[in-house]
Structure 1
Amino acid sequence: MAADQLSAAQSTALGVIAARRGELSDWCATIFDFGETAWREYRSAEWYVARLRAEGFTVEEGSGGMPTAFCAEWHNGDGPVIGMYAEYDGIPGNCQAASTRREPRAGLGFQAGGHTDPHSGLGIAGLGGALAVKAAMERHGLKGGIRFTGEPAEKVRGSKPIHAAKGYYDGLAAILSFHPFYMLPMCNTVRWETHCGAGWSMVYRFLCDRPEGWGRSDGAPIPQSHSAIRAPGANDALNLMFLTSKSLRDSMLSHQGGWSISEAILTAGQATADNQPAGLAELQYMIRVPTIAMAEAVTAALDRNAEAAAAMTGCRWERHWVCKSRPGLANHAMARLVWDAMQRRGAPAWDDAAAAVAREIQANLGLTPMDDPFIPEMSRLIEPEAAEAILRRDLAPSQTHSTSDDYTDMCWHAPTARFYVARPALRAPEGFAYPAWVMNALGGIRATIDPMVERAAEVLALSALRILEDDVAREAAWAEFRTRTGGGVGGSEWVPPQCDYAPPIHFRWPEYVNTPRGHDWWIPSAMPGA
């Protein structure tokens, strides 16, 4: 197949996406409305499994020991297998309706889960691309297959390190990774050389098992049982860990170049009465760094802080891994292949209905609606090398990676391209910043999010079919992969999976619950004064 023209199979795939445009829109709205969060995406995963089976895929549910993950396969004889995937987790505290004003989805409060990036559009774009490739392969007799994985808990870098360690990316000819635009200049472009770095996350658990022994050098019990509250307990251990680590943050990791340490309290309290010290408290950390060595150093410092906090409060401590993802690996041959597909289709286009939605949001915020309410970067492509140059303006010459994402774990198992398609974003008057709910809403309103989903599905389909049909392009990607890894998987420069832990599914991750009040968020939606 010549690189300068569409093949018959690629033309077929574009026709399939156009014909299924209405279904893609409905599906995207469905996942957006589920609004489920990390490790608790039960309805979303169930929906994908049912849809993929209906489309002729064989699906393994609960892949890698993760209840909300899956691995779907479809083959049309022996041949190259393309890796694609869906993400579908949202974030607590971002419940937003597909509306032009700030309001939660029906029956919920603002603290419930919601899609921000949005992974609802990411996943359906991936599904649309995979179904178009399947249809084209069937119609034109192309040999090979598709492996489509369901990746839960991306917001805590959850599933991909586990899938990688358990072999779910092995044997693939190439992997295509799409994400909605979330920062400039990475909008309607492909990552070139500077890929995302490592991301390590863990939960520190503090347990106060013997409060009755607090303050007694002989280990004898406190005389009066109600005096046990004198024991500091797990909440105090968590507080000491939280504050100590904040005060030492610059010593553990200098905040420059996009690297960071952040924390979230998962569990606090667990006392059964006012005069009982807290028996359990859990604090989660996320480390975003360019190298594994830096992640190990920060982890050692956090371990020391946890040990000190536990010793001062009469507790014991445990560290449980949430993720250990590797830094990314570039592949210029794959990036150029996907860039060719992006140039064929161009940037997404938003119509008058989308502009009307944007103006209504501006009016509801008290702004004067703009004739052209969207940022100009949405409607133009940027060459990967040009985006790379802009990205590196603020980076030290020695810095090899920037920010963090877990697609990087895929890069070490097959040639991988990471690309970004514009999602809707509004122009702002000078000195004004839009509240977060605006981007969340635009990710759920059909008129504003559907153009991104359709364009990303097209780029995925064209790229996958190019890999299947173009032996020269496929071998070029593999030649570069072997060079960069020192011989391929297991080579001298290859970084093996860092995952040496079980899926962290048993923690108190925020989730939806069914109670006598009905379907509710774990923080009751009908809160006084809400």
Structure 2
Amino acid sequence: MKYQQAKESIVDWMEEHKDPYFRIADEIWENPELGMEEYASSKLVADCLEEAGFTVERGVAGMPTAFMAVWGGGHPVLGFGSEYDALPGVSQKKDSNHPDPVVEGAPGHGCGHNLMAVTGPFAAIALKRQMEQENLTGTIKVFGTPAEELCLGKAFMGKAGLFEGVDAILDWHSMQWTKPGCFYANAYFNRKYHFKGKTAHGNAPWHGRSSLDAAMLMGHALELLREHIKPGLEGAANTLNYAFPDEGNAFPNVVPDHTTLWCIGRMCDAETVADALQRIDDCAKGAALATGTTVTSEEITATQNLLPNETLSAALEENAHWVGAPQFTEEENQAAREIQEQMGCAVSDYEGVIEEVSLTGQPTTDASEYSWSAPTGTLHVQMAPSAAMGWHNWGITRFAGSSIGKKTLFTAAKILAATGYDLVMEPSIIKTATEEWKQRTGGKPYTSLLSDDAKPALDINKAMMDKFRK
């Protein structure tokens, strides 16, 4: 292991100073905030970075809960991320091994973003300290990216050019395994279609124009369209989903005059997204024409497909084997067994191993925007005992608020910091990663899939969050 003494110094410092970062993770867990509503969470992280000597710009890319923190100067320029949004409806007490919400229906950290909020900054601060001690040249950037669950934050930060000029980005996510990854993921779009009609009495509906008829007709058109969309790749299939979040007057004796169809799609690349969106727009126009209504579209977000980087994956893998996978106690395994039994899935213990790196697909993520701006390495560290548990549920919330989550956080932070040190000391790693990145982009520059006049949906979760905010 190269630079072992320096890396041991980094890890020793992290061991001595981990408690404040654990407290931040706990505070974010105890006060979960939905995407674009993470005012307290983002402030905790930004304040921590500022106190550690980073220059923090808040409210970037038109989003009050987004920030960018910078330290140092010159190359290499290394990026780390911070995500802090919670999920709706997965509130859970941290000491209960059965469904037991803190507040019924309230948000919870069922994806572990309270851990991800802290890990990147913790690694960045530890790396900064070592670079200062050795008088090393380089720049560290930490990106505070809101609303990851809606693929919103990084899309608008990428559009604003905040990821430009970065030499490499080290990203991570808590998962059901520990595996420095080489992943691909689909491009994504999220759009609402608002139909407007004319109300009328149900006993004389010919006087009205039903917005619900229009939305249902568009839904049927989308069902027929599915057959004509390419299937994509195994592990990252091209998919199209829709829902009716606003069904108009919701009274059978009144013809509804407003209905919304909310549509999301995951496609293999930007070209497939563009083709699908054109046809989906046509479905909406056709439905409106057929029902005598009008329709407008609301652009929520759109992201590129994720570009893997085997070079950075290899660097992460080497340090993962040096740091080791998180090891869990019998008490923690017993809790995991009870949770799995409650969820009705196959029961297994934590294995505490590092799995072999392989090129696979993963769910859509707005970290794709990182990967078109710079070579991006992704790390997964185990928090759930098996894939059978799934994700985005009360069990994951329970783990993310416990000692299990803290072990996941600390393992990831050490691996990221050690890998960051390698990138500072070995310019050849970034050179090779950049060559690979250029091949994967095919020479195409990063282009945001958002329209020129797109604005972040700042209030998208406000009404729901207002119900539960303390």
- 1:91–1:115 contact (8 Å) kept in structure 2: yes
Report how far residue 435 of structure 1 moved: 9.7
User: CA–CA distance in 1 between the matches of 2:323 and 2:191?
Assistant: 41
User: CA–CA distance in 2 between the matches of 1:367 and 1:414?
Assistant: 39
User: CA–CA distance in 2 between the matches of 1:20 and 1:511?
Assistant: 38
> Aligned AA for 2:227?
D
Alignment partner of 1:207 is 2:196? yes
- Aligned match of 1:503: 455
- Aligned match of 1:190: 180
- Aligned match of 1:397: none
- 1:188–1:422 contact (8 Å) kept in structure 2: yes
- Aligned match of 2:416: 460
- Aligned match of 2:372: 412
- Aligned match of 1:239: 216
User: CA–CA distance in 1 between the matches of 2:408 and 2:137?
Assistant: 29
Q: Which runs of 5+ in 2 are unaligned?
A: none
- 1:289–1:403 contact (8 Å) kept in structure 2: no
| Superposition pairs of residues 279-318 of structure 1, within 5 angstroms | 279-318=257-296
- Aligned match of 1:476: 432
Alignment partner of 1:175 is 2:131? no
- 2:202–2:254 contact (8 Å) kept in structure 1: no
> Aligned AA for 1:381?
I
User: CA–CA distance in 2 between the matches of 1:460 and 1:444?
Assistant: 19
> Aligned AA for 1:382?
E
| Cα 1:358–1:513 shift into 2, 3 Å | closer
Equivalent position to 1:92, from 67, 85, 88: 88
Report how far residue 28 of structure 1 moved: 1.7
User: CA–CA distance in 1 between the matches of 2:460 and 2:444?
Assistant: 38
Of the structure 1 ranges 143-152 and 257-266, higher mean CA displacement relative to structure 2 is found in: 257-266
User: CA–CA distance in 2 between the matches of 1:116 and 1:420?
Assistant: 16
Of the structure 1 ranges 405-414 and 458-467, higher mean CA displacement relative to structure 2 is found in: 405-414
- Aligned match of 2:104: 109
Report how far residue 483 of structure 1 moved: 4.3
User: CA–CA distance in 2 between the matches of 1:295 and 1:239?
Assistant: 23
Report how far residue 30 of structure 1 moved: 1.8
Report how far residue 281 of structure 1 moved: 3.1
User: CA–CA distance in 1 between the matches of 2:308 and 2:340?
Assistant: 40
CA offsets, 1:417-457, max 9 Å, x none?
Answer: 112111122597xxxx7897453234333222111101100
- 2:373–2:446 contact (8 Å) kept in structure 1: no
User: CA–CA distance in 2 between the matches of 1:265 and 1:303?
Assistant: 16
Equivalent position to 1:25, from 14, 22, 25: 22
Alignment partner of 1:153 is 2:113? no
User: CA–CA distance in 2 between the matches of 1:404 and 1:366?
Assistant: 26
TM norm structure 1 = 0.79
| Cα 1:23–1:243 shift into 2, 3 Å | farther
User: CA–CA distance in 2 between the matches of 1:255 and 1:78?
Assistant: 40
* SS of aligned partner of 1:204: strand
Equivalent position to 1:443, from 382, 399, 409: 399
- 1:25–1:446 contact (8 Å) kept in structure 2: no
Equivalent position to 1:331, from 298, 309, 333: 309
* SS of aligned partner of 1:95: coil
| Superposition pairs of residues 53-72 of structure 1, within 5 angstroms | 53-72=50-69
- Aligned match of 2:328: 350
- 2:232–2:268 contact (8 Å) kept in structure 1: no
User: CA–CA distance in 2 between the matches of 1:461 and 1:238?
Assistant: 50
- Aligned match of 1:220: none
* SS of aligned partner of 1:239: helix
- Aligned match of 1:381: 354
Q: Highest Rg: 1 or 2? A: 1
Paired residue total: 466
- 2:337–2:349 contact (8 Å) kept in structure 1: no
TM norm structure 2 = 0.88
> Aligned AA for 2:349?
F
Q: Which runs of 5+ in 1 are unaligned?
A: 215-223, 392-400, 487-491, 521-530
* SS of aligned partner of 1:322: strand
- 2:110–2:394 contact (8 Å) kept in structure 1: no
> Aligned AA for 1:204?
Y
- 1:72–1:147 contact (8 Å) kept in structure 2: yes
User: CA–CA distance in 1 between the matches of 2:343 and 2:356?
Assistant: 35
| Cα 1:52–1:295 shift into 2, 3 Å | same
| Cα 1:285–1:458 shift into 2, 3 Å | same
User: CA–CA distance in 2 between the matches of 1:358 and 1:314?
Assistant: 55
Equivalent position to 1:422, from 375, 382, 387: 382
CA offsets, 1:466-521, max 9 Å, x none?
Answer: 111212223222333344446xxxxx344433232423315643654557xx847x
| Superposition pairs of residues 132-143 of structure 1, within 5 angstroms | 132-143=126-137
**Structure 1 vs Structure 2 CA RMSD:** 3.2
Report how far residue 461 of structure 1 moved: 0.4
> Aligned AA for 2:51?
A
Alignment partner of 1:262 is 2:256? no
Report how far residue 150 of structure 1 moved: 1.1
> Aligned AA for 2:450?
C
User: CA–CA distance in 1 between the matches of 2:390 and 2:144?
Assistant: 32
Report how far residue 256 of structure 1 moved: 6.9
* SS of aligned partner of 1:191: strand
CA offsets, 1:166-223, max 9 Å, x none?
Answer: 11111112111111225xxxx322333x511211221212233xx27x8xxxxxxxxx
User: CA–CA distance in 2 between the matches of 1:82 and 1:441?
Assistant: 30
